[in-house]
């Protein structure tokens, strides 16, 4: 009897396991059907689904579809297509927006890296000021010892090498890097040498002709009466400097910033000023014979005579004078508010 009961229990367990397997198989299509139903509802929408259902039901019952039912179906389709289009547009815009934002971050990062690299270079090159101090100290000592206002060839060579080693660079003004590289150290070296009262002929032959003073920063420099023959100041910035009575014969001033200079009585014989900007400068009694004024900017330049343009063309035969006559005229104006008399000034036509 007990064996029979145990046998029935075992069969019962086996049947239960088989029933559970059958129930699991039956539930899978329902889950799949539920997922498909959810996806269909998501794509089509409840209103569109209902409109399609109403249209099919009406056609089955009446074998025709009314205008209202058709209108509801079309409206539901348009709403759904619009919704899908907007969603697609948002999905398409999102990567583009993220990429744009990422590019902005990369650009800012690159700018900071560039600034840091330029600052490191500026710091390295400004350390040359210590070397310049030693060289200039030796210059001063030799000139005092010799009493001839000359220095030894060895020391002159050190000055020349120093000018060439002082490479231009970009540095920060406020929070922005200056646009073009320039060398403040070369400018300071030149100013100090000019103030040393070195013999002019030795200064020109042994230092100026050999040194590199291109791209020098000489803003508001006081160089009155200095001898700078044969100097190469190409692409330098001399804005606001006092160059009255300075000897700049054969000087190279190509593409230099010469705004608001005082060049009264200066000697620019055979100097090359091509592409230089002389806006607001004084050229009164300035010697310009043989100079090159091709493409120079002469806005608001003060001159000594009303026929200055024709004078530099007809008598001095200045290169670039024809273009200046086409672009400029001379008018009598007050140089300052306190001026009592009008004087000649070059103005744009």
Give the model's confidence band at 128: pLDDT under 50 very low, under 70 low, under 90 confident, else very high: confident
pTM: 0.67
pLDDT of residue 341: 86
Q: Say if residue 253 is in the same domain as residue 267.
A: yes
Q: Check if the beta carbon of residue 247 is closer than 8 Å to that of residue 229.
A: yes
Q: Residues 221-263: pLDDT tens digits?
A: 999 999 999 999 999 999 999 999 999 999 999 999 999 999 9
Which tokens in the block code for residue 235?
């692409």
pLDDT of residue 49: 63
Identify whether 69 is part of a domain. Answer: no
> Which domain covers residue 308, as residue numbers?
218-349
Q: Say if residue 242 is in the same domain as residue 303.
A: yes
DSSP 203-256: IIIIIITTS--TTBB-TT-B-TT-B-TT-B-TT-B-TT-B-TT-B-TT-B-TT-
pLDDT at residue 30 above 50? no
189 vs 100, more confident:
189
Q: Say if residue 226 is in the same domain as residue 143.
A: no
Which tokens in the block code for residue 282?
């004084």
Identify whether 87 is part of a domain. Answer: no
Q: Check if the beta carbon of residue 249 is closer than 8 Å to that of residue 194.
A: no
Q: Say if residue 265 is in the same domain as residue 150.
A: no
Last residue of a domain, one of 213, 233, 264: 213
Last residue of a domain, one of 151, 179, 213: 213
DSSP-based three-state secondary structure for 64: coil
Least confident of 63-72, 142-151, 176-185, 310-319: 63-72
Least confident of 66-70, 127-131, 234-238: 66-70
- 280-301 burial: b if 16+ Cβ within 10 Å, else e: bbbbbebbbebbbbbebbbbbb
Q: Say if residue 335 is in the same domain as residue 266.
A: yes
CA 282 – CA 176 distance, rounded (Å): 31
Domain with 329 in it: what CATH number? 2.160.20.80
pLDDT of residue 294: 96
Last residue of a domain, one of 185, 213, 241: 213
Q: Say if residue 152 is in the same domain as residue 260.
A: no
Percent of the chain having pLDDT more than 70?
A: 77
Mean pLDDT in the chain?
A: 83
Identify whether 75 is part of a domain. Answer: no
Identify whether 109 is part of a domain. Answer: no
Check the CA dihedral 151-155-160-163 and report its sign.
negative
- The arithmetic mean of pLDDT across residues 282-305, rounded, is 95
* Half-sphere exposure in the Cβ direction for 330 (13 Å, CA): 16
pLDDT at residue 220 above 80? yes
pLDDT at residue 42 above 60? no
Q: Say if residue 251 is in the same domain as residue 349.
A: yes
Phi-psi region of 20 (alpha: psi -120 to 50; beta: other; left: phi over 0): alpha
pLDDT of residue 125: 62
Q: Say if residue 181 is in the same domain as residue 302.
A: no
pLDDT of residue 250: 97
Identify whether 191 is part of a domain. Answer: yes
Q: Say if residue 199 is in the same domain as residue 228.
A: no
Q: Residues 104-127: pLDDT tens digits?
A: 878 877 777 766 666 666 666 656
Q: Say if residue 149 is in the same domain as residue 238.
A: no
Q: Check if the beta carbon of residue 281 is closer than 8 Å to that of residue 329.
A: no
Identify whether 77 is part of a domain. Answer: no
Identify whether 126 is part of a domain. Answer: no
Q: Say if residue 260 is in the same domain as residue 223.
A: yes
Query: Total domain count for the chain?
Result: 2
Q: Say if residue 258 is in the same domain as residue 338.
A: yes
Identify whether 119 is part of a domain. Answer: no
């Amino acid at each position: 009897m007990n064996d029979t009961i145990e046998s029935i229990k075992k069969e019962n367990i086996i049947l239960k396991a088989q029933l559970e397997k059958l129930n699991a198989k039956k539930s899978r299509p329902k889950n799949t059907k539920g997922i498909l139903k959810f996806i269909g509802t998501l794509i089509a929408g409840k209103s569109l689904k209902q409109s399609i259902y109403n249209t099919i039901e009406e056609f089955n019952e009446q074998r025709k579809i009314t205008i209202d039912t058709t209108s509801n179906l079309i409206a539901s389709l348009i709403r759904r297509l619009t919704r899908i289009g907007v969603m697609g547009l948002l999905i398409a815009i999102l990567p583009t927006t993220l990429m744009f934002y990422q590019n902005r971050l990369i650009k800012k990062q690159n700018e900071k890296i560039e600034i840091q690299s330029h600052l490191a270079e500026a710091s390295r090159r400004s350390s040359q000021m210590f070397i310049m101090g030693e060289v200039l100290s030796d210059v001063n000592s030799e000139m005092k010892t010799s009493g001839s206002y000359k220095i030894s060839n060895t020391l002159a060579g050190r000055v020349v090498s120093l000018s060439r080693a002082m490479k231009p660079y970009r540095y920060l003004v406020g929070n922005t890097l200056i646009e073009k590289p320039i060398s403040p150290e070369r400018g300071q070296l030149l100013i100090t040498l000019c103030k040393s009262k070195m013999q002019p002929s030795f200064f020109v032959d042994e230092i100026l002709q050999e040194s590199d003073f291109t791209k020098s920063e000489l803003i508001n420099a006081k160089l009155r009466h200095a001898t700078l023959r044969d100097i190469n100041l190409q692409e330098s910035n001399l804005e606001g400097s006092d160059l009255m009575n300075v000897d700049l014969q054969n000087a190279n001033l190509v593409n230099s910033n010469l705004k608001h200079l005082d060049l009264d009585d200066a000697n620019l014989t055979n100097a090359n000023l091509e592409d230089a900007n002389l806006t607001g400068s004084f050229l009164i009694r300035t010697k310009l014979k043989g100079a090159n004024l091709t493409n120079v900017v002469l806005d608001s330049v003060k001159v000594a005579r009303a026929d200055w343009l024709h004078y530099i063309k007809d008598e001095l035969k200045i290169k670039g004078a024809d273009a200046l006559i086409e672009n400029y005229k001379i008018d009598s104006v007050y140089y300052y508010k306190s001026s009592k008399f009008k004087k000649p000034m070059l103005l744009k036509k």
